[in-house]
Amino acid sequence: MDNPVLDAIKNRRSVARFESTQLRDDELETILEAGRWAPSWLNKQPWSFIVIKDQKIKQELSEVVPTAFVQGLKEAPVCIAVSVNPEEDPYHYLEGGAVASQNMVLAAQSLGLHSSWIGTFDVKEHKNSAESKVKKILDVPKKHRVISLLPIGHVKYEIPKKERKALRQIVYEDKFGKR
């Protein structure tokens, strides 16, 4: 079946290098709209998005996040930080931030753009974690949590195809393990 949403899902890959070509304003707005329309518990919408274009800030972020995508973080014309407020959704803020992140990377893919997903969330909220450093760089309020950094732009290289497990390997009927 031909389906544009499934095509975006199947073709999305994390990208490590970006061209310097800027995003158009309508592209960025479409990506942010996709995040805004993510589902959330009781429609609490606990997220905030920080659009980072400043090269100095992207450089600072690249120095504190442990990732293979550091160069891409510096090169991408835009990086979106996804922050959530646990007080607005104390039960599912993590999922809310994750699904908003996923919506945005899929929207970017559907526009012919590429992204990577750099996870920053630190479950134990260590004082010296990457998340705490990102929060400091971006002036994120103490009570908020940073779920991800999403560098977005035009890819610098050809993206390899990837395979997935067959459905029969991961799908069960009625109970786990039952085929």
- Give me the pLDDT at residue 89, please: 95
CA 158 to chain CA centroid, nearest Å: 21
Percent of the chain with pLDDT over 70: 100
Cα→Cα distances 113→6, 49, 60, 73, 158, Å:
16, 18, 24, 15, 13
- Give me the pLDDT at residue 7, please: 87
The whole-angstrom separation of Cα 179 and Cα 169 is 9
Lowest-confidence segment of 28-42, 48-62, 84-98, 155-169 by average pLDDT: 155-169
pTM (predicted TM-score): 0.92
**Closest C-alpha among 169, 137, 158 to residue 59:** 137
* Contact yes or no for 148/97 (Cβ under 8 A): yes
Higher local confidence (pLDDT), 159 or 57: 57
Average pLDDT for 13-22: 90
Element holding 47 (H helix, E strand) = strand 47-52
* Contact yes or no for 84/93 (Cβ under 8 A): yes
pLDDT band at 43 (very low <50, low <70, confident <90, very high): very high
Tens-digit pLDDT profile for residues 54-110:
999 999 999 999 878 888 899 999 999 999 999 999 999 999 999 999 999 999 999
Highest mean pLDDT (candidates 43-47, 157-161, 165-169): 43-47
Q: Which domains does the chain have, with CATH numbers?
A: 4-170 (3.40.109.10)
- Give me the pLDDT at residue 99, please: 98
Contacts for 172 with CB less than 8 Å, ≥ 6 apart:
178, 179
